[in-house]
Amino acid sequence: MQAVNTPRRAGPAAVPFAAGTGGRRGRPRGTSAREIEVISLRLFTERGFDETTVEDIASEAGVSRRTFFRYFESKSEILWYQFDDEVTQLRAAFDRVPARADVMTAIREVVVSVNHYGPEDVAELRARINLIGSVPALQASATQHYDAWERAVSDFAAQRRGEAADELIPLAIGRSTLAACRAAFDVWVRRGDAELTVYLDAALTALGGGFAG
Amino acid sequence: MQAVNTPRRAGPAAVPFAAGTGGRRGRPRGTSAREIEVISLRLFTERGFDETTVEDIASEAGVSRRTFFRYFESKSEILWYQFDDEVTQLRAAFDRVPARADVMTAIREVVVSVNHYGPEDVAELRARINLIGSVPALQASATQHYDAWERAVSDFAAQRRGEAADELIPLAIGRSTLAACRAAFDVWVRRGDAELTVYLDAALTALGGGFAG
DNA sequence: ACCGTAACGACACTGAGTGACAAAAATCAA
DNA sequence: TTGATTTTTGTCACTCAGTGTCGTTACGGT
C-alpha cells in the first residue's frame, strides 16, 4: 500500500563513521546534516520557509546547492531529521512492554516515556513544531514520517490482538494514537504552561476512554 | 495556528453561473474543473502521477498549461476537488443532530450518513482513494484538506462540551475521528467485500469504545 | 609518488508554479 | 452593424525545487 521508507538520509555515505573525521578514506565532508538543520531552523524562523531558498541554506553552510541535496532529499525533509529517530525509540520501548498489559494503557505509557525532553531541547522542539504547524509545505511533508510512527503503534496493537497490522482496528489504533498526540503537541506549543508529557497523557487517556463524558 | 482555507477553487470566476453558457458576459470557458478531473484521473491511473505532467493534462483538455493553473492551484489539488464538498455536508449534518445525543455516537452516525455512495460513483471513488493512498505527492497534499474535515468534527465536539475547538479534547476528537475513518477507507479499498459504511461504522464504534478488548 | 576512495562543484536539464500583458470571444448598447 | 465592456484564454518570461552526469578535490593507504 505505502512505499517502504526511503533509506536515503543522513550524509552521502549513510552512517559512515559516526562523526569525526577519524580514519575514513576519501575527501572529508564539508558540513553535516545537523549543521544544515541548525542553519535552516534559524533561516526559516527569521525569513520564513518559502522565503528561504535551498541556495541560501547551502551558501550559509559553505557548500553547493547540489551538495545540500546529498544530505537531505528535499527542503522540507530537514525538519524531520530528528523525528525519525523517535520511531526507533518507540519500537524499542514497545518491545519492553510486559506481555499482559492493557494495550491502550501500554501505548500511552510508551508514548509518554519516549517524549521526555530535557529543558535544553525544548526551545528547538518548540520552533520545529511551530514551523511544522504553520507552514503548509511542511505539513504536507509530515505524512510520510507520520506513517512510520503510526505503523510502529499499529504493529504493537496488531501483535497483542493477534491480527495483521493492516487490519481495521490495529490501523485505526495506530492512526488515532498519532492524531491524539498531535493534538497534544499543538496545544502544548500554543500554551506553554505545562510539560509536554502532561498533555500527551491527557490526550491518550481520553482516547483510551473513548472520549466519554 | 492553521491558515484559513484557500478560497481559490473551481473556475476562474468562482461559482459563476453554475454550469451552462447561459447568459454570461465574456469569453466562454475552454473546459471545466470536472473535465480536467476526469482526464487527470485517467492519465494518473494509466501512466502514474509523477509521469503525467501538467502539460499532458492541459493538452488533453484543449487548454494551455497556464489555464490549467486557473482551474487548480496545483497538480495534486485535482484529486481533492470533490472531497471538500463533503466537509460542507458534514457540517450540515452536525447541525441536524438532536441536542442531547451522545457526542461520539452522533459523530459516528453523521460520518456514516455522509458517506453513502451510489454504485455508479464507487469505481471513481476507489480510483481516487487508491491514488491518494499510494502516491507520496498526493498523500502530502492531503493534510490541508483533512484539516477542514477534522475541524468540522472538532467544532461539533467543542460545542457539545462547552469548550473551544482548539482545546485538547475537541482537537483530539476531530483528528482521531479522521484517523479512524482513513483506516476504514484504506481497508475498504484493499478488500472490497463490504460497503464502505460498514467499515466506517466499525472503526468509529471501536474509537468510541476506546479500542477496548 | 602513486592509487583508490569518497565527497564535492559545475553544468545542464525537467517540471511546478507565478506574474504580466496582449489577444480572443462572448454580451450589451447604440 | 459597430463599438465598448467583460471574462477567459494564450504567450512569454521568470524563480525555484529536484535530478543526472561528470570532472575535480582531498583524504588515507601502499
Average pLDDT for runs of 10 along chain B of length 213: 44 53 82 97 96 98 98 96 90 94 97 94 90 93 94 98 97 98 95 92 98 89
With distances taken from each CA to the C1' atom of nucleotide D25, the closest residue turns out to be A27
> Whose C1' is closest to the CA of B32: which nucleotide?
D8
Amino acid at A104: M
Q: What is the pTM of this model?
A: 0.89
B104, B132, B139: best mutation site toward chain A, by most A Cβ within 10 Å?
B139
**Per-residue pLDDT tens digits for B47-90:** 999 999 999 999 999 999 999 999 999 999 999 988 888 999 99
Closest chain B residue to A141, measured at CA: B140
Strands, DSSP E only, in A90-139? none
N residues, chain B = 213
**Per-residue pLDDT tens digits for A168-179:** 999 999 999 999
Q: What is the mean pLDDT of chain A?
A: 90
Distance between CA atoms of residues B188 and B126, nearest Å = 9
Q: Does A73 touch chain B (CB under 8 A)?
A: no
Contacts for A92 with CB less than 8 Å, ≥ 6 apart: none
If you search the block for the grid coordinates 524499542, which residue do you land on? A92
Share of chain A above pLDDT 70, in %: 90
Whether residue A18 is predicted with pLDDT greater than 70 in this model: the reply is: no
Distance between CA atoms of residues B210 and A205, nearest Å = 9
Distance between CA atoms of residues B175 and B142, nearest Å = 13
The pLDDT of residue A15 is: 47
User: Is A139 close to B143, i.e. CB distance below 8 A?
Assistant: yes
Share of chain B above pLDDT 90, in %: 77
Amino acid at B96: R
Q: Report the pLDDT averaged over residues A181-204.
A: 94
Distance between CA atoms of residues A67 and A65, nearest Å = 5
Give the CA angle between residues A164, A168, A172 to the nearest 5°.
105
Distance between CA atoms of residues A139 and B145, nearest Å = 11
The set of long-range contacts for B199-205, using a CB threshold of 8 Å and a minimum separation of 24, is B199/A168, B200/B108, B200/B111, B200/B112, B200/B115, B201/B108, B201/B112, B202/A168, B203/A168, B203/A169, B203/A172, B204/B104, B204/B107, B204/B108, B204/B111, B204/B112, B204/B177, B204/B180, B205/B108
Q: Does A197 touch chain B (CB under 8 A)?
A: no
Residue A189, Cβ neighbours under 10 Å: how many?
Answer: 20
Q: What is the mean pLDDT of chain B?
A: 90
Q: Report which of residues A14 and A5 the model is more confident about.
A: A14
Is residue B73's beta carbon less than 7 angstroms from any atom in nucleic acid strand C? yes
Contacts for B201 with CB less than 8 Å, ≥ 6 apart: B108, B112
Whether residue A22 is predicted with pLDDT greater than 80 in this model: the reply is: no
If you search the block for the grid coordinates 455508479, which residue do you land on? B120
Distance between CA atoms of residues A55 and B56, nearest Å = 30
The pLDDT of residue A96 is: 95
Residue B191, Cβ neighbours under 10 Å: how many?
Answer: 12
